[in-house]
Each structure stands twice: as C-alpha cells, then as structure tokens.
Chain A
Amino acid sequence: AQTVTQSQPEMSVQEAETVTLSCTYDTSESDYYLFWYKQPPSRQMILVIRQEAYKQQNATENRFSVNFQKAAKSFSLKISDSQLGDAAMYFCAYRGRGGSEKLVFGKGMKLTVNP
C-alpha cells in the first residue's frame, strides 16, 4: 500500500522569507500524481499544486513550486515570499494512476508565518 510521510509536524517562517515543506512517499507504481493541499483555519481544503510523475519538469504555481525527486520518492513544496495568508495546515497527498481514485494523505504539517 502507498504511504505518504510528512516528518515535520510544525514549521515557522518569517513573512517574505522562503520555506520548504518536505514529503516522502512509498509506492511500487511508476505513474502517479502528487498533490499539496492547504487547509486554513476555515477548514476548506484547497489544492495548492499538483505534479504528474511522468513529467520531469517541476510544477510551479506563482509563489509555490515543488522539488520532485522521483528516484528518491521525495516531493517537497517551496513557498517563496511567504505571506500571512499562507499560515495553514499543509497536506501532501498521493494518487495512483491505475484507476484508483483514492487520495492517500500524509499526516499534515502546521505552518506558522510570523510578521
């Protein structure tokens, strides 16, 4: 079974600085999707960024980018120019491509942004 590990339960960053959230996963599949979700205090889970495993290029979305290392099964999220609104729980998630629609989540990480 696939597993997703977020080893750091909490992190903090100063406003305008850069922070990297780590995520590793375990799978025997060769093709899959990886996601980062954000859950602010409002509780609404928001998709931040996604990566398709067959694409070598790292995904970017404005201030958010990933470092996808397929061989190492690592999928870290970099947040540049951190803003107060980035404070939230962040979840890394995996989904296989072979027809299974289930998302497997990590345990989450709480990000605090200090003014």
Chain B
Amino acid sequence: DVKVTQSSRYLVKRTGEKVFLECVQDMDHENMFWYRQDPGLGLRLIYFSYDVKMKEKGDIPEGYSVSREKKERFSLILESASTNQTSMYLCASSLLPGQTDGYTFGSGTRLTVV
C-alpha cells in the first residue's frame, strides 16, 4: 500500500518561529498536496506540486511556502508562524494526471501556535 508519512503528529510552536512540516510518500507519486483542515471549513488547499521543484498556489497560500527538492518529499514552511495558523495540516499524494483513485493522505499534523 502507498504510504504517506507526516513527520509529526502534534507540534507546538511559538509565534514568529519558522516551522517546517515534512511529508514523505513511498510510491513514486507525481503529485503532492498540502491542505489545512479547520472545523466547519473542511479541507482547504494551500499548495501543490506536480513534479520536483514545481509548485503551485492553492486557495490559501498566504503565510506559507513549500519545497519539493526530491520527488518523495514535500515540505510545508511557515515562515513566521502566527496563531491563526493553528490548525490540522494534511499532506496527500496521487499518481499521474488521469488516475482516478483520488488521493492517499497522511495522518495529519496538528499544529498549535502559541
């Protein structure tokens, strides 16, 4: 089975810190995604990547950046964490365009910014 691993299940950071959320997938998937999940708002796309060193903004990219130096790894970066970035962050991956199985998700990182 495809596995998407997020490095931390829970994370507590201070306001202003630079935060890295790491995601690794083990099945050579082309596409990787970062979502944040908030109660009553569902999942909102932050950034996604179709290939190494490629990235595209999602619906809520402000305050975030990403890095994809290797195909299997997609990092989400909070340059200066703020309390309104307290949320659940979900990473996902999928195969080439046209593949119909939706996404494979990681187990999420619950980030608290204090």
In the complex the two chains form, what is the Cα distance from A103 to B58 in whole Å?
11
Q: Do A101 and B50 form a contact, CB below 8 Å, given A44-B107, A106-B42?
A: yes
B48 touches A101 (CB 8 A): yes
Instruction: Give the number of residue pairs across the A-B interface with Cβ within 8 Å.
Output: 56
| Contact of A47 with B by CB under 8 A | yes
Nearest chain B CB to A9's CB is how many angstroms away?
7
B interface size (C-beta, 8 A): 25
Nearest chain B CB to A27's CB is how many angstroms away?
16
In the complex the two chains form, what is the Cα distance from A107 to B33 in whole Å?
18
In the complex, what residues of B have CB within 8 A of residue A91's CB?
42-43
Q: Do A102 and B58 form a contact, CB below 8 Å, given A9-B40, A50-B101, A91-B43?
A: yes
Q: Do A101 and B58 form a contact, CB below 8 Å, given A42-B107, A45-B90?
A: no
Q: How many residues of A sit at the interface, in one of the four size bands?
A: 20 to 34
Could you tell me which B residues sit within 8 Å of A by CB distance?
Answer: 31, 33, 35, 40-45, 48, 50, 58, 88, 90, 92, 94, 97-98, 100-103, 105, 107-108
26 contacts between A and B (CB under 8 A): A6-B42, A9-B40, A33-B100, A37-B102, A43-B88, A43-B107, A44-B107, A44-B108, A45-B103, A47-B101, A47-B103, A50-B101, A91-B42, A95-B102, A97-B98, A99-B97, A101-B50, A102-B48, A103-B45, A103-B92, A103-B103, A105-B35, A105-B44, A107-B42, A108-B42, A108-B43
